[in-house]
Structure 1
Amino acid sequence: MQGTVQTGGRAGGRIRALLLAAVVGVLLSACGGNHPRGEVAGPPGVEVLRDLAYGSDPAQRLDVHRPADAQHAPILVMVHGGGWRRGDKANPGVVKNKVAHYVPAGYLVVSINYRLSPEVDPLAQAHDVAAALSFVQSEASAWGGDPSRIVLMGHSAGAHLVSLVTADPGYREGAGAAPWLGTIALDSAAYDVPQIMNGPHPALYDDAFGQDEVLQREASPTLVLSGTPEPVLLVCGSNRAEACPQADAFGAAVRAHGSTATVLPIDMSHGDIDSQVGVAGPLTSAVDDFLTSLGLPT
């Protein structure tokens, strides 16, 4: 019958294959899947140095997003989330809007990977973050960055890790890193891990921290806090019951140790608290205000 496409035999198989390839291509494009690990092209004028090694493990890599004419630029070092066992430095939700907002404002945005659970525990991951920080400080000038003007930022598990490195100066000292200007933690609820483990909690905490009470305590920023930490901005989803109380307690501990802490409850989803940094709105305004308080441009 005219107007009907016959799909039997070899010709039909080729047609089905072409149709399937087209559908898969559309889906991949919608998800950013046409780029390795979800990488997306940066805005005009942004140069990207990819997969720079800060350690010997293949996971110890970072990307640098920089203005083409960068000179003495402030630096945001971003640590992705993913329940301590997944995630990637190049995912669009981690970098896209941050790069679009901060690189044109004159920043370098550095996004890091780190070893994941179950290969290593969160303490080793915090050592990776500190090692990446030390590497960024040593190489910043070559990228047009200013090693004395660095801010750590992390989301979810990454927010826990940057908070742990901030709370315990042993991580910085062990990596040979210098102090930085401040820390932005985007929606961690893991500031006091034993408190989490002693109540109802998602299984991802069991996967990361297990039953080792010593590990749980050593991985708790509120419990290991010592010295005078860098100033912190603690963003917490007001729709997550455990997030803001944990952030409040850590913020109080930071202030008790002679530093400044701002806790920002915000009615946004856990994922949006990461991906919407850089998009005009109260979240980005709060991050920009914190950066301004550190003497940085926005």
Structure 2
Amino acid sequence: MSMTRLLCCLALLLALPLQPACAGLLQDRREARQLEQAGIRVLRDIAYGNDERQRLDVYLPANPGRGPAPVIFMVHGGAWVTGDKDNGSVALNKALRWVPQGVVLVSANYRMLPDTPPLAQADDVARALAHAQQLASGWQADPSRFVLMGHSAGAHLVALLDAAPEIATQQGARPWIGTVALDSAAFDVESIMQAPHMKLYDKAFGTDPATWQAASPTLRLEQPGTPLLAVCSTRRDDACPQARGFATKGRSLGKRVEVMGVDMSHRQINHELGQDNGYTRDVERFLRSLGVLRL
């Protein structure tokens, strides 16, 4: 082998561990360029607690419109054990779609398993919400016009706050105007744990029936509260039945609950929201009904 070829091989071998990091850096730069071109300013890693996971990002219009803006408060998924607020599928498409329409987007991290169980994660989300509401006026946003949105485990957490708003009140949060739960299959944790289920639920909810009940939005729901949209994948066996069970309980209490079944994967429900498609426009109809987007 020639010296030149040997050096080339060594260079490739040395570069291999760097490839994921380089790819991530290039992706970050692409996303930053897209946001800049759309006139979106990002405030990153605002602390709402002492843990490094207790951070939130804020996506702001570079030129705010007249009057305080509504806020969409996004909570990532990841089976209560992984995920991050600045993953492209969590915030980017939603920011590119809605911030230019005069909406402020907040994307929050929270502590996760194994150290922080879902009920404590809900406390983190509530604490992040309270902090965002406190800072909202400085962003020219309206602290009384927040919509909670979450995907997967994040959808479970925002649905839990919707069903049991006292969790949020105890962390200093003010009322919000609506909730969008993107493909949660955990509205009734107790029924999941009493039937054959994936191991991830054991890691999240353990063996104590009291915990199952406390972590179940359907079982915690006792008052009408604010409107909720539950988007669910018709490709999954459990997501839409769980959402319909919550809707039945909510409607019996006079709550406005909409269930939107979509022929999309669990990932697509998050990633494609904010793209120019019929699914996004259907979610936007719900947001418009709350006065969040312009008619």
TM-score, normalized by the shorter chain, greater than 0.5: yes
The equivalent of 1:3 in structure 2 is: none
Alignment equivalent of 1:143, drawn from 130, 135, 139: 139
The equivalent of 2:93 in structure 1 is: 97
Q: Does 1:223 align with 2:214?
A: no
Distance 2:190 2:87 in 1: 31
**Amino acid of the residue matched to residue 16 of structure 1?**
C
Report the 3-state secondary structure (helix = DSSP H, G, I; strand = E; otherwise coil) of the residue aligned with 1:104: helix
Residues 1-298 of structure 1: pairs in structure 2 closer than 5 A: 6-7=1-2, 12-20=5-13, 32-34=24-26, 40-41=31-32, 42-44=35-37, 45-71=39-65, 72-298=68-294
Report the 3-state secondary structure (helix = DSSP H, G, I; strand = E; otherwise coil) of the residue aligned with 2:85: coil
Q: CA deviation at 1:206?
A: 0.9
Residues 1:134 and 1:27: Cα distance change in structure 2 (over 3 Å): closer
The percentage of counterpart residues that share the same residue type is 47
Asked whether the 8 Å contact 1:7–1:15 carries over to 2, the reply is no
Distance 1:147 1:7 in 2: 67
Q: CA deviation at 1:12?
A: 4.7
Q: Deviations over 1:193-226 (max 9, x none)?
A: 1111122211111111111111111000000112
Q: Deviations over 1:48-102 (max 9, x none)?
A: 1000011121111000011012251111100000000000000011111111101
Report the 3-state secondary structure (helix = DSSP H, G, I; strand = E; otherwise coil) of the residue aligned with 1:40: helix
Asked whether the 8 Å contact 2:224–2:256 carries over to 1, the reply is no
Between Structure 1 and Structure 2, the one with more helix by share is 2
**Amino acid of the residue matched to residue 117 of structure 1?**
L
Residues 1:51 and 1:7: Cα distance change in structure 2 (over 3 Å): farther
Report the 3-state secondary structure (helix = DSSP H, G, I; strand = E; otherwise coil) of the residue aligned with 2:213: helix
Structure 2 unaligned segments of length 5 or more: list them: none
Asked whether the 8 Å contact 1:229–1:257 carries over to 2, the reply is no
Distance 1:205 1:114 in 2: 18
Asked whether the 8 Å contact 2:103–2:292 carries over to 1, the reply is no
Residues 1:24 and 1:33: Cα distance change in structure 2 (over 3 Å): farther
Residues 1:127 and 1:7: Cα distance change in structure 2 (over 3 Å): farther
Report the 3-state secondary structure (helix = DSSP H, G, I; strand = E; otherwise coil) of the residue aligned with 1:103: helix
**More off after superposition, 214-223 vs 282-291:** 282-291
Q: Deviations over 1:146-203 (max 9, x none)?
A: 1121100000000000000110021121012111010000000000011111222111
Residues 1:97 and 1:43: Cα distance change in structure 2 (over 3 Å): farther
Distance 1:190 1:23 in 2: 40
Distance 2:10 2:108 in 1: 38
Q: Deviations over 1:18-62 (max 9, x none)?
A: 3346667766565x45467x9931242111100001112111100
What is the TM-score when the length of structure 1 is the normalising length? 0.91
What is the TM-score when the length of structure 2 is the normalising length? 0.92
Report the 3-state secondary structure (helix = DSSP H, G, I; strand = E; otherwise coil) of the residue aligned with 2:162: helix
**Amino acid of the residue matched to residue 64 of structure 2?**
A
Distance 1:268 1:51 in 2: 31
Asked whether the 8 Å contact 1:169–1:227 carries over to 2, the reply is no
Give 1 or 2 for the bigger CA radius of gyration: 1
- What is the RMSD of the two structures over their aligned residues, measured on CA atoms? 2.0
Report the 3-state secondary structure (helix = DSSP H, G, I; strand = E; otherwise coil) of the residue aligned with 2:101: coil
**Amino acid of the residue matched to residue 217 of structure 2?**
P
**Amino acid of the residue matched to residue 182 of structure 1?**
G
**More off after superposition, 65-74 vs 124-133:** 65-74
**Amino acid of the residue matched to residue 63 of structure 1?**
D
Structure 1 unaligned segments of length 5 or more: list them: 1-5
Q: Deviations over 1:88-134 (max 9, x none)?
A: 00001111111110111111111000000111110000011111111
Distance 1:172 1:26 in 2: 42
Q: CA deviation at 1:268?
A: 0.3
